[in-house]
Chains A and B, each alone.
Chain A
């Protein structure tokens, strides 16, 4: 099935460090979304991107919609312990009049205090 390539798969970083992760696809999307999942919970939306080249921030998080529309990037600045979790990218496409969301395989982030 169609899935997005997300990297890295996992990261161990020190508190205060910056984090970068990305998502690539062979397909073009008109919307990119970034989600965070805490243990035992469902994914929660962090940032939504709607235009190629768009750069959007949410606090310490910044995401970009790639110019080719086939990739997206998420940066977390000055990481803190509560940033731990799994981060998913999702691309949205229109199929038969309905939006479908294709998810990446996730980046598992662990922050060492």
Chain B
């Protein structure tokens, strides 16, 4: 059981380049999330998708776009990368069963923007 799978694991970009981070989950979860992790700041929510076909901004959405391609996949796109977007990005999913809902994380994408 793979859980939440993120690709790529590492990426180096030049300022102004674009790229898409991919995320897929095989747990039939309804909700999916993108977080970024920066030293001393914990995890901050970029975007989330409560269910297939919906997306909403989180705490730090500027400079990012997302696509919930289907129930399994939720991608994060940087249209014009900036050094401030150097971070570790985590995708997460949850089943949305209200009583015991929990977040499950992928292993992360380490992104460096030069």
Contact = CB atoms under 8 A, between A and B. Distances in A.
Interface in A41-58: 41-45, 48, 50
A92 interface: yes
Chain A, interface residues (CB within 8 Å), range? 20 to 34
A40 B42 contact: no
Chain B interface category by residue count:
20 to 34
A61 B40 CA distance: 24
Interface stretch (A64-72, A76-84, A98-106): A98-106
B40 A105 contact: yes
Interface string A88-113: 10101000111111011110000000
Interface stretch (B13-21, B69-77, B79-87, B102-110): B102-110
B11 to A, nearest CB: 15
A103 to B, nearest CB: 4
A69 B16 CA distance: 44
Query: Which of A1, A44, A98: most chain B CB closer than 10 A?
Result: A98
A2 B58 CA distance: 11
